[in-house]
Chains A and B, each alone.
Chain A
Amino acid sequence: MDLTWSESEEAFRTEARSWLESNVPTPALPSGDTKEGFALHLDWEYRLAADQWSVVSWPKAFGGRDASLWEWLIFEEEYYRVGGPQRVTQNGIFLLAPTIFEFGTAAQQDYYLPRMSSAVDLWCQGWSEPNAGSDLAGVRSKATRDEAAGGWRLSGQKTWTTRGAFCNYLFGLFRTDPESERHKGMTYFMVPLEGDGVTVRGFGRLDGDEGFAEVFFDDLFIPDDDGTAETMVRGGILGEVNQGWGVAMATTSSERGLTLRSPGRFQATATRLVDLARERVGDGLSQQMADAVADAWIDAEAYSLFTLSDVTGVVEGVSMGARSSYNKIFWSELDVRLHEVALDLLGAEAELDGPWMKGYQFALSGPIYAGTNEIQRNIVAERVLGLPRK
């Protein structure tokens, strides 16, 4: 066991910290899930990209720094410690990019990745449909082959698409074999959200921000990708036709696992919670509340240590597999608890639409998205504990 950072990792931390401290906007930006806020967050993404901080773990050729997984964790710790803005590019850089790295052609990687890291293309995900939520294999949106025109025609509806109204591309599953059922016969498409055949309607989330969208496809044409920018700008396919389920699973496991929710984020929230409690120490803070603060803070530490152990495994070639579901259940419920304790500390002030109430409402989405925690518990029970499926 070696729980210390190397000299070069410490140097990386110092460099990241000093850049973030002099660049993170103050006061904090308004929510990136509103039109005005999104534009400000985009400016922030451009600034990150200009100094190669937008995707530190990617290869330099695509806009990254070739940082190790450890350095990525360090960057995230520093990012949230100074209160860095939410990443409106996260669905692209954390969810789609790993899939492009794994399944994309060289031409696709060269075209899409630099545009993604520099926030030229903004990606949202198109998994859920009105009748395919937790049961993702119920996808009905379809893509029909048009041999004459040389491409695919998309129709159907996606929904609960986070920041769909502000993005210009969507990735998701479409049924390409009309005879198929469930997990078979779907293809992973990258789809432009501009032009004929696409309608995007934004709507308000629980917290009132226009963060959601539903997206309607009506005969949207996607030409076959011939490896040129002219076709790739109009979208394309990742992996093989009819093999979309397997391709998509690579992405959802990133979503559940550590790439989307690094521990630094919850440790930062836990630290803010402790600060909030400390302000109340002379002011009649009950032992019960102090205990609740300590308990939630310990859980944030536990999440961090669990992640260090997972990353050690990944670095040494052990796959996380279904263990990533443990991860997702824990961080999402931890996030809710941290905010609940904070709201309890605030008492009557809790009702005000301040950062803790806002954060609470956002945290409440955690146990729902990326596969509800009920589904995650089934996955852990069946694939980790080995309980029978039926």
Chain B
Amino acid sequence: MRFALTEDQVEFRAVVRGLLADTCGPDELRAAWPDAETAGGGPGGGNGRVPGAWSALAEMGVLGIMVPEAQGGLAMTEEDLVPLLLEAGWAGLPDPLAATAGVAVTLLRHASSSEPRADELLAQIAAGEISLGCVFSNPAQSESMRPASVVAVSNFIPAATSLDQILLCLEDSVHLVDPASLQLERVQSVDGARDLFHFVVPVEMGESTALLTGAAAQAATLAAFDFAALGAAAELIGLSRRMLEMTILYATERKQFGVQIGSFQAVKHHLTNASLAVEFAEPLVLRAANSLALGNPQASLHVSMAKAKASAAAKGAAAASLQVHGAIGYTVEYDLHLYMKRSWALAGEFGDVEFHRRRVSAELLAK
């Protein structure tokens, strides 16, 4: 028994943290927003990407961390990638790191034996050449799906115009589609850095785009969805830590009534409550990563426990951070909103608290 990251994992994580601190600060985040005004500054015209951070991550091999050696990857596991996603969350990185390095790789590894296109894409990911998006969509929502295989579907995709390919997971098929072939409609996310698009899935998808079908597609979709939910959970924990760090610093500097506001018991208790939820959600996230890496049959359950608690923790951290900041936090010129809005967006992405709690209760109460 040893419930902690390995020395190598701790080291890799620290390197990525440093890299993101250098390349993905608040200025770079604002530049990813399409609209400078709602971003509270920046040049405007962003497309949901931070190119400097992305190319540095690609160069370091982070994108290919879970790609098999045969395709030039590092052949590591979810347990190695998830700690890096905690850091991506901390930095507020909007780029499709979890989607490319985790979700897409999971899908493509499932297709690897039967599909030469999958191997090609895996090699391109490992080489840091492409970025992918993954959507779980379902034109005809089936109610007959067993609870364990349920995935939360939506037709939204962030930074769609910047992506090389989109992996579309339908009820029993997985398709590889060119973003240009989809009818994309830009919508306004609360978090401009996500540069969100909506699209309608054609009820009949052609065979030419299918990577996986039938039972193989279902298994791959479930595994990919679990990673997507876990990736969001990890980012939410990182975001929560970032917001709380900012808030603690602010509460230590800001004075009212002649004293630091962080000395007030009401403020202390707000922040302790928020931090408590984060501290007890993170172990659930790390355990779920271990379960996915080992193919534990309870991995889906563990993912749902993690996402339910990480979403709730992040919403709590955002609320406490805003309240303690007071009016300064209520402006777009201050940085807090960049991280808070991402938390709101990711809290509901790939299943919100209620969805994942329900996946857990269905499993627990099944006769």
Q: Are B269 and A291 in contact (CB under 8 A)?
A: no
B3, B267, B275: residue with the most chain A Cβ atoms closer than 10 Å: B3
| CB interface residues, A 1-40, toward B, < 8 Å | 1-6, 9
A2, A299, A316, A387: residue with the most chain B Cβ atoms closer than 10 Å: A387
B279 surroundings in chain A (CB, below 8 A): 306, 326
B338-359 near A? 1/0 per residue, CB < 8 Å = 0000000000000000100110
Chain B residue at minimum C-beta to C-beta distance from A309: B3
Q: Are B284 and A330 in contact (CB under 8 A)?
A: no
A302 surroundings in chain B (CB, below 8 A): 280-281, 283-284, 305, 309
Docked complex Cα distance between A390 and B367 (Å):
55
- Name B283's contact: one of A308, A380, A382 (CB within 8 Å): A308
Chain B residue at minimum C-beta to C-beta distance from A70: B1
Q: Are B272 and A377 in contact (CB under 8 A)?
A: yes
Docked complex Cα distance between A307 and B276 (Å):
14
A70 surroundings in chain B (CB, below 8 A): 1
Q: Are A308 and B1 in contact (CB under 8 A)?
A: yes
Q: Are A5 and B358 in contact (CB under 8 A)?
A: no
- Name A290's contact: one of B3, B283, B289, B365 (CB within 8 Å): B365
Chain B residue at minimum C-beta to C-beta distance from A386: B248
B280-322 near A? 1/0 per residue, CB < 8 Å = 1101101101100000000000000100110000000000000
- Name B1's contact: one of A5, A295, A303 (CB within 8 Å): A5
User: Is residue A277 contacting chain B, with contact meaning CB distance below 8 A?
Assistant: yes
A228 surroundings in chain B (CB, below 8 A): none
Q: Are A281 and B3 in contact (CB under 8 A)?
A: no
A380 surroundings in chain B (CB, below 8 A): 272, 275-276
User: Is residue A249 contacting chain B, with contact meaning CB distance below 8 A?
Assistant: no
Q: Are A377 and B273 in contact (CB under 8 A)?
A: yes
Q: Are A281 and B365 in contact (CB under 8 A)?
A: yes
A-B contact count, CB below 8 Å?
A: 139
Docked complex Cα distance between A377 and B267 (Å):
11
B280, B281, B360: residue with the most chain A Cβ atoms closer than 10 Å: B280
Q: Are A3 and B1 in contact (CB under 8 A)?
A: yes
Chain A residue at minimum C-beta to C-beta distance from B358: A291
The contact size tier of chain A is 35 or more
B305 surroundings in chain A (CB, below 8 A): 298, 301-302
Closest Cβ of chain B: how far from A204's Cβ, in Å?
Answer: 32
B244 surroundings in chain A (CB, below 8 A): 385
Known: A308-B283, A309-B283. A1 touches B357 (CB 8 A): no
User: Is residue A305 contacting chain B, with contact meaning CB distance below 8 A?
Assistant: yes
Docked complex Cα distance between A295 and B268 (Å):
25
Docked complex Cα distance between A380 and B275 (Å):
9
Closest Cβ of chain B: how far from A390's Cβ, in Å?
Answer: 5
User: Is residue B76 contacting chain A, with contact meaning CB distance below 8 A?
Assistant: no
User: Is residue B14 contacting chain A, with contact meaning CB distance below 8 A?
Assistant: no
Closest Cβ of chain A: how far from B113's Cβ, in Å?
Answer: 28
- Name A291's contact: one of B1, B280, B290, B357 (CB within 8 Å): B357
Q: Are B360 and A297 in contact (CB under 8 A)?
A: yes
Docked complex Cα distance between A332 and B287 (Å):
23
Q: Are A298 and B276 in contact (CB under 8 A)?
A: no
| CB interface residues, B 151-179, toward A, < 8 Å | none
Known: A305-B287, A387-B262. A2 touches B354 (CB 8 A): no
| CB interface residues, A 168-214, toward B, < 8 Å | none
Residues of B near any A CB (own CB < 8 A): 1-6, 79, 244, 248, 251-252, 259-260, 262-263, 265, 267-269, 271-273, 275-276, 279-281, 283-284, 286-287, 289-290, 305, 308-309, 354, 357-358, 360-361, 364-365, 367
Q: A298-B308, A302-B283, A330-B276 are in contact. List 8 more A-B contacts (CB 8 A).
A: A291-B357, A308-B1, A308-B283, A381-B269, A387-B248, A388-B260, A388-B262, A390-B259
9 pairs, CB–CB < 8 Å, chain A vs chain B? A1-B289, A70-B1, A277-B365, A294-B358, A306-B279, A330-B276, A374-B269, A387-B260, A387-B268
Residues of A near any B CB (own CB < 8 A): 1-6, 9, 70, 274, 277-278, 281, 285, 287, 290-291, 293-295, 297-299, 301-303, 305-306, 308-309, 311-313, 316, 326, 329-330, 374, 377-378, 380-382, 384-390
Q: Which 4 A-B pairs have the closest CB atoms?
A: A381-B268, A305-B283, A294-B361, A387-B262
